[in-house]
Amino acid sequence: MSDRKEVDFIWVWFEKCWTTLFAKLLEEHPEIFIPKEKELNHFTSLWALWEDNKINFQKKSISEYYKYFSSSEKSQIIWEWSINYTNKESAKLIKSFFPNVKIIISVRNPIKKIESSFNYHKYTKLDISGKIDINDFIYKYPYVLEQCKYFKIINFYEKLFSKEKIHIIKLEDYIKSPILEVKKMYDFLWVDKNYKPLNINKKINKTTKTKHPLLIKTIKRLFIIWWKIARKIWVYKFLINSKAFKKSLEITNNIKKQKTELKREKLNNKTRKIVEKTIKKDLVKLKEIYWINYLK
């Protein structure tokens, strides 16, 4: 067991950039430790806003934070990750606690990222209040576009931590040469780069949808109506323990488990042009400074 109070690297991840897959690749490596909890969110921007209690709050929380890594071995490097670190406030907080930490950031084509994000949010939740058209997605959720301004965040982290401390993974490069990109990532972290993880050719978190969404929604509504009525009468205690009630729950759960691969929706040409125009300045700088080209 390790009593170190230091994190070796942090993954600052943008949504739908295959970060779950990369986490699996890192988790498999025997020289790398990842806590069981997926996102600790210790350095979220929300924390930075609590100025009145900032010092005491952080001191109290940092001890709790270190407990997530208590089961790591001394020979392992430790890390964590969060989507909520893609902002300047979080970067400053990370720097204040871990000035020498390494940062990994993964990026992908912004249009593909938005489309993937929409399909994920729309089809992974059954209770959606009203259907959202994919071309309205960027207007209803402005953060989606902000998450495509890679240069702004990468450059800020680089100014805080130095270029040598930042490693960028381009998803398209990984798809073409997964072994090479994984070796680069391991080499950046100073662990055995020849280790070959089992998940290297897998795609994690493929978006799927339920085969019978309307049926599930109808069953849920009927169940809510039935439950409201049953609760008002003494017989509901008998009903919830009945075989019929338990069987109905079993049938509903079985239907929910029947999933099929999602037919992915795509942005129309008009929306694509709006997205490209909105983030063009950021993409131009991304190409000029980091040689990552997502411009047409």
Write the pLDDT tens digit of every residue in 67-88: 889 889 888 999 998 888 988 8
Q: Quick one: pLDDT band at residue 133, thresholds 50, 70, 90?
A: confident
Sequence spans of domains, the chain: 9-206, 212-257
Question: Residue 9: its pLDDT value, please?
Answer: 93
- In which element (H, E) is residue 217 found? helix 213-231
Residues above pLDDT 90, as percent of the chain = 39
Average the pLDDT over 220-246 and give the result: 58
Question: What residues have CB less than 8 Å from 273, skipping those under 6 apart?
Answer: none
Average pLDDT along the chain: 79
Mean pLDDT of 135-148: 87
List beta partners, residue 32: 77
245 contacts: CB under 8 Å, gap ≥ 6: 239
Determine the pLDDT at residue 189.
95
SS (H, E, C) 141-169: CCHHHHCCCHHHHHHHHHHHHCHHHEEEE
d(CA 258, CA 19) in angstroms, rounded, equals: 26
**Residue 249: predicted pLDDT:** 57
Q: What is the DSSP string of 7-61?
A: --EEEE--TTSSHHHHHHHHHHSTTEE--SSS---TT-HHHHH--TTHHHHHHHH
Residue 248 contacts residue 239 (beta carbons within 8 Å): no
Query: pLDDT tens, 23-39?
Result: 888 989 999 998 888 78
**pLDDT given at position 51:** 39
Q: Region 279-285: what's the mean pLDDT?
A: 95
95-99, 140-144, 287-291: least confidently modelled range: 140-144
pLDDT at residue 184 in the model: 95
Place of tokens 């009468």: 233
Answer whether 22's CB lies under 8 Å from 108's CB. no
Phi first, then psi: give them for residue 148, nearest 5 degrees: -95, -5
Q: Which CATH architecture has domain 9-206?
A: 3-Layer(aba) Sandwich (3.40)
Neighbours of 278 (CB within 10 A): 15
Cα distances (Å, whole numbers) of residue 205 to 24, 99, 119: 11, 32, 12
What is the reported pLDDT for 164? 95
Mean pLDDT of the 41-50 span: 60
pLDDT at 53 over 70: no
Does residue 283 have a pLDDT over 70?
Answer: yes
In this prediction, residue 220 carries a pLDDT of 63
Give 139's pLDDT tier (boundaries 50, 70, 90).
Answer: confident
108 close to 176: Cβ distance less than 8 angstroms? no
* 99 DSSP 8-state letter: T
Q: Strand 9-12 relative to strand 32-33: parallel, antiparallel, unpaired?
A: unpaired
Tokens of 145: 């576009």
Distance between alpha carbon 211 and the CA centroid of its chain, in Å? 25
